[in-house]
Chain A
Amino acid sequence: MKRDEPGNLDLLAAEYALGTLRGLARRAFARRMKRDPFVDRRVAAWEERFALLALRLKPVAPSPAVWTALEGRIGTPVRRSWRGLAAAAALVAVIGLGWYVWQGLRPPAAPQAYAVFADASRTDLWRVALDAKGERLAVDALVPVSVPDARSRELWALPDGGSPVSLGLMPATGSIEIALDEDQRAALAAAKNVAVSDEPAGGSPTGAPTGDILFIAAIVRT
């Protein structure tokens, strides 16, 4: 791989911190920061320099509702290993419990794992459940999800230490079932999270996510 000139790398770091580096270039650079502490340090130096511009703004007091909501979101003490996913996992657990009880009233066996995707305003969008045998995924759109024309929403397993593995396309409404192949099952078994990305209609042409990762949900194993 061609080595960047230090000046060029620093300019990329500056534009990342400034926010003008966008789209694929931004995501690629973010991945590089994760891999390379040197790159991360360049970004940190710029974040430091620019921070003054942020801190110079006149403060605005948030409404009390923000703190109340925040308290609710960090409310449940969680194990350290789950810290990053604390809020999501707590939410998923509560929804999951309700669903589990409901599911228990129905003849089919309970799923061995499930995940619920929610948007930024915490509206639940999709529930993904893996059947007891680990062979089929049931995907339910919990509300009609708006997807732009000529785009699809694609579901990915995020196995620990591996690349995302496509599990199929998400329905905008209603429910679908996906039969999993060997690779997909293995990826799910090694994953703590699933994600939904923005892709061209019909899904990623490359087998890897090409668009933004829109949602991430923790997998809850029952």
Chain B
Amino acid sequence: MPGESPGPEQERQLEAAGLPHPAGRALRILGMMAAETARTADSEVARLLAACARQDRPAFQELYRRTSPYLLACLLRMLRSRALAEDALQDAFVQVWAQADRYDGNRGSAWAWMISIARYRAIDLRRRESRVRTEPYADVDEIPGEEESQDALAALGRRATRALAGCLEALQPRQRQCIVLAYQGGLSHAEVAGEINEPLGSVKSWIRRGLTALKRCLES
């Protein structure tokens, strides 16, 4: 009936047919809030960072609440140990708090700024901690995988990000695999080579060619 929300049965039918229904948007938003799994929009992360730059502690806590599960996922993937990853997470947030006034919205998104702080910290740690390298990849069942992530795209929302998704898909499989492994695992060329059991020289050139192709694709 016009003007009324669809009942549960109609909803299922609409969903099965892949069609949006009137209440769909509201339901999705409510669902996100309840589960708190949605990635916070970058403008909100930037606003919280600006508040941190003014030494606003409640804002820092809110920033931590919203972003730490995502940074921890990155760090776990790179450091392969919860203890190390949580240490790195702590260090990363100390740095975020201390340097929040250096974040510049013209340079890039707030998410990317925070992710870089965490990742570079982990790359540093990986180099220093022999513990990390001896940990077999498969032995840590906590290592997060990728998930269906329309909201990752939506949260970042920048042109550069949206283009990447398509351009990554367009790469040759080996090139894409090496780049994703290196990025998400924080692996060096040699470590990528070990991981996929291919010669170092091939890995280096796949990464180089993959990056060149990505750049060409992104700029086209």
Contact = CB atoms under 8 A, between A and B. Distances in A.
Partners in one complex: yes
Interface string B149-186: 10011011010110111000000000000011011101
A53 B111 contact: no
Given A50-B183, A83-B101, A55 B39 contact: yes
Interface residues of A, number: 48
A65 to B, nearest CB: 8
A66 B115 contact: no
B111 A55 contact: yes
Interface residues of B, number: 74
Given A49-B218, A59-B69, A67-B68, 14 more contacts: A10-B215, A11-B211, A19-B186, A19-B188, A22-B189, A47-B108, A49-B160, A55-B155, A57-B73, A58-B146, A60-B72, A61-B68, A63-B82, A83-B99
A86 B187 CA distance: 31
B97 interface: yes
Nearest to B123: A19
Interface string B63-102: 0100011101110110000100011011101100111010
Contact of A57 (B82, B145, B155, B187): B145
Query: Which interface residue of A10, A61, A70 has the most chain B CB atoms within 10 A?
Result: A70
B12 interface: no
A53 B74 CA distance: 9
Interface stretch (A38-46, A125-133, A137-145, A159-167): A38-46
A14 to B, nearest CB: 4
State the 10 A-B residue pairs at the shortest beta-carbon distance, nearest first.
A59-B69, A51-B112, A57-B73, A55-B152, A58-B144, A56-B149, A14-B211, A44-B108, A58-B147, A49-B164
Contacts of B186: 19
A143 to B, nearest CB: 17
Interface string B102-118: 00000111011101100
14 contacts: A10-B215, A41-B107, A48-B161, A49-B161, A50-B183, A52-B152, A52-B153, A54-B70, A54-B74, A54-B119, A54-B183, A55-B152, A83-B98, A120-B128
B82 to A, nearest CB: 8
B116 A17 contact: yes
Contacts of B69: 59-62
Interface in A55-89: 55-63, 65-67, 69-70, 73-74, 77, 83-87
Interface string B185-208: 011110010000000000000011
Contact of B145 (A44, A58, A86, A87): A58
Interface string B52-70: 0001010011001000111
Contact of B86 (A49, A62, A214): A62
Contacts of B152: 52, 55-56
Contacts of A70: 64, 90, 93-94
B182 A19 contact: yes
Nearest to B162: A52
Given A11-B212, A58-B144, A47 B94 contact: no
B127 interface: yes
B35 to A, nearest CB: 10
A212 interface: yes
